[in-house]
Each structure stands twice: as C-alpha cells, then as structure tokens.
Structure 1
Amino acid sequence: MVDFNDIALFVEVVRCGSFSEVGRRLGMPPNTVSRRMQGLEEQLGARLLQRTTRKLTLTDAGREFHDRCAASIDGLRQASQDLNASSKVPSGLVRVAAPADFLDFYTPQMVSVFLDRYPAVRFEFLLSDAMADLIADRIDVAFRGGASGGTGYIAHQMPIASMGLFASPAYLGRYGSPGSLKDLLDHRCLTMPSSSGRAVWRLQGEDGADEQVEVAGAFAATTTRALHLAAVAGLGIALLPRAIANAEVAAGKLESVLPRYRRRDEMMCVVYPSHRQVTPAVSAFVASVIEQFGQGSTWGPALTGSAAR
C-alpha cells in the first residue's frame, strides 16, 4: 500500500524543486528524500521525476499525479493546522511575483508596517516584467494586469488608479505647455519602447469620451519608475500614476499637463494557484494591498507586464 507520507513528501519536492531544499525545510537528509521518492515510484509503477545534475522536472505521469494529489494533501495539512490556534497567526515565508516596479507602489515602508504587525512573516519578492510560473517558481501570490487569472488560478480583482500627464517645470518652461492632445505631437513624450518608436496614448476627457493620440520622443524605458525619473529630469511629458506624481507636484518637481485628461481605470488581479490553500500570511498580505490600494490605488502600467502561467 502506498504510504501517504511519501505522497505528501512528493508534493513538497515538486514545490521546492530539489531534494536538498526539501531536506533543509524538513530537517531530512537529501538522500533519504531521494530514496523515498524512488520507493514511491516503484509502488506506483511509474516514473514521476526526471533527475539531472541541475534540476528535477516532472514527467507527464508525475504532473498528473501531482495535480490530483496536491489539493488533497494541502487540505489535510490545513485541517490539522486549523486545529492549532497558533496557525491562525500569519507566519512563514511568502513568495511574491510582481512587476519590476512593484516596490515603487507597495513601498518598503509599507512592507515595514506590515512586518511590524506580523513579525513572524518573511517575504521574497520576485520582481520582473516577465511571465512567472507559479508552480515552478513556488510562488504564493502574484500581481498581474487584466481581469482574469487564467485556468488553474484564483484571481481577485481591484481597480488600478487613474493616470495623468506630467512634466517638469524646466521642460514646460523650455517647450511650453500643450493646450490639447493634438499638441502632444509637437512635444517630447516619454513612452514604453516600441518597434515603431511611437506609442498611442488613449485617454478619457471630462465628458467621459475616449480620445487617443500617437506620441514619440527621445527617451523610452520599460518601467514606470524610469519614466517617472525621466520626467523629473526634464526629458519630456510622461503618463504617470497620479498618486505617485502628486508627491512630486507638491514638491515642485512636476506639473500636471492637460489635467482634464486621464487614462481610463483598468483592473489588476491578485492571483493564487487554485490547488493551493491560501495561508494566513498570504491572506493578511493581500488584505494589506487591498487596504492600501483598493480605493484610488497607485498602480501603474507596469502591472500589465507581469503574469502568471
């Protein structure tokens, strides 16, 4: 009969990605973990893991077995933890996949406040605009643009705050302030890189109608942070999150340009793998993000670059 402890160990191996990491977490020699996995494969009559000197990968049979067992193992583990009152206190490691600019919006100061409240929690932020594989990268929660987490994920939506146009006093003093969207054609605009060297800004006017203008400039960058710094430096007009830019406006480093226009609100998703139980630490962290940004959040367009698959 298959030992259910070995099945639970197999699920942990998949999440950790190596025998040594499982051994470190569970206080077990890596060769013991390997031996138990070999024994499980023999009992099942199927190869679950492909072993190389660099990493472990799932076979097709292993992936199917993991997908069918992981939720049950998590459910049993969660049921036992719920009997212990201390398990309701947020604790442990939370791995977060987010865009490269994430900590410009959910700032280290906010992280500090969270950790003061929940000192037993630890964070690992994987900050990249590239796609993140929640299973392979052992991600607990991911932030991405759009309105859906995709198949196999649970996604909670929240609005991304509106954005506006901003430039430095030095730039406006040199080139003047545009009076209409069409005037932006004659200005240096700060955009994300594109093959054409131009970008289309779709904005909403006071009457709620959408308008668009094609813009270009001498500076383009892949992150909102870089565009923000470029605007402060006087390189051009940038489309920025209002809550971020407002601080620079108050300091006299930026001025609002065509303030009657803003980018239509979009949606952001907070995403979890559907097979995994959400821990108290993850729940508390997501609640903190929603509390900070659920109304009039400061999220910028970089969120559209981060996805989970």
Structure 2
Amino acid sequence: MTKPDVMLLASQRPNAMAQLEANFTLHRWDLAEDKAAILAEHGATCTAIATHGHAPVDRAMVAAMPNLKLVSCSSAGFDTFDVTALAERGVALTNTSSALCDDVADTAIMLLLGARRGLVPGDAYVRSGSWGREGMFPLQRSLKGRTLGIVGMGTIGQAIAHRGAAMGQTVRYWNRRPKDLPWAFEPDLITLARDSDNLVVIVAGGEGTRNLIDASVMDALGPDGLLINVARGSVIDEPAMIAALSEGRLGAAALDVFENEPNPDPRLTALPNVTLYPHHASGTVETRDAMAQLLVDNLGAFFAGQPLLSPVDLSAYAVRPNAT
C-alpha cells in the first residue's frame, strides 16, 4: 500500500517521528540543503505539511504545493504562517492548543506567584547570605482578594481563570466577543487593565494582535500592576513596556515570551522588576509528547477521511467576493 506523501518542515518528538516514518512518505524539507529544490521535486505530490510554529509556511511554499490540503502544526501558535494564503486555497490548519493548555496555564500562575512573592530575588537573598546578614526579606503581596484580568478567553485563558479563581482572585476578561462563562466580560481593554491588579495576556500572535498591549494599557495597569505574557512577544509593545517599567509607570512584568528570541533586549533583562522565563510554558516532556502526537493524529484523521481533531477556524481570513 502506497503511503501518503507529507512534507516535513520541522522534526518532531521521537515517538511521533517513528509514527510519521512508519505511516507516511516523508520529504525532509527540514534537513534539505536546497529547500527550493525539494519543494520543486516533491511539492506537487504532498497533500499535507507537518510542522511547528517556528517553521514558516509562506505564500511561496503554498504556491509550490498545488495539492496541499492540510497543515498539521505541533504548536499552538502559527503566527509565522500565511493563513490568508491557506484560507484562499481552502487548506485546513490544525494546532495543539488543547494539548498544552494545562502546562501553559500553570506557567502563567507560576509567573504570577513568582513575581508577586519575589521568588527569584528571594532565592538570591538566601544563596547570597543576605538573610543572615540583613534579616527578614521584604514583605511581598498576596493574591487573594486581588483582581486577575485575562486578555484572551480561549481554552488556555479559561484554564488560567479557573486557577486564578481557586486562589481567591476576582477574574475579569477581555475577548473579541463575550462568552457564556462565570467571569465578568470587559469589552474595553483599558478599563480591564485599570481594574486589574494582575493582567495575563494569552491571545494568538500575528498582525491582528501586534502591540495590542500598548503604552495606554500599561499606564492603566499602573505602578502597582503586574503584566504577565504567556502569548507571543509581538502582542506587547516591548519598547513601551521597557519605558513603563523603567519609569515606574508599570510596576512589574513576568514574561515567558519576547519580541526578539532567544536574545531579548538587554534593556529589558537588566531591569530588576521583571521575572523571566525562556519561552518554555509548554516545555514538559509530557506536553511536548502530547503536542507531537496530536500532529500525528490529525494527519491520520485527514488521510482516513475523518474529522480533524483540532482544526483552526480560518474563515476570518478567507477572501470574500465583492458585492455586486
């Protein structure tokens, strides 16, 4: 039996790779020295791409694959993909938000606690001997009774909300549209920031959300506010955040993602009021294995003629004919 042809843009976890190699004819774009040549030779035979969000799927690649029907992505984010080109061609896209939901939500809470309770400077205080020399570490801030604002109420946003509520925080959220949820919807982002003690950002990346968190949002969050980003670095106006943190207009930030990765702006990393994590919210063995498995399972469902397990709605990117 002939195995379906799949263009592999990014290697996956070992177990997933074994399944991909067993069930598909893989064309290793990721290993090819001449990537244009492998697209020219095999692009027309491949009906699916297997990749992750750090390997761009651009318009030229889509054009080089005339029979492409599916892009199966093993990450939640796909802001490096030309989704308009996919939508125009009717190419389906799947991602793995459901697989990484809990670990990303846990990381958001870890950053929240770490920043509010001074985990990193507290660790340094003990290691340096300052505790013995200088006495009690400065008092920190409690979370119970505070307001947790969440920007983006998708699967992960809701998981963060449940965790925040369980800790005694009042949860409010901003989203492009309200949802039937037990937490208060706030349609104005500035108002949400002004009413929040801690603001977690968990929206999709891409041009539609670039600099969504700008200077006005940070000023509204204020000198006692904490800004947490577990989304994409592009969602925050980073130069404006550096200025706000430096000038005391924003109290603190706890960040898993940055505008320039893996080399964040040294002006940011030098600030004492930031808690930093290396874009590793989904970085556990269990979750990365589950993400890769979901990529494999989506490919299997597609080639079996079954419904995709985690499709992304691309209808908003489809070209609509002009009214006549």
Name the TM-score class by shorter chain. Answer: under 0.3
Point out the structure with the larger strand share: 1
- TM-score between the two structures when normalised by the length of structure 2: 0.27
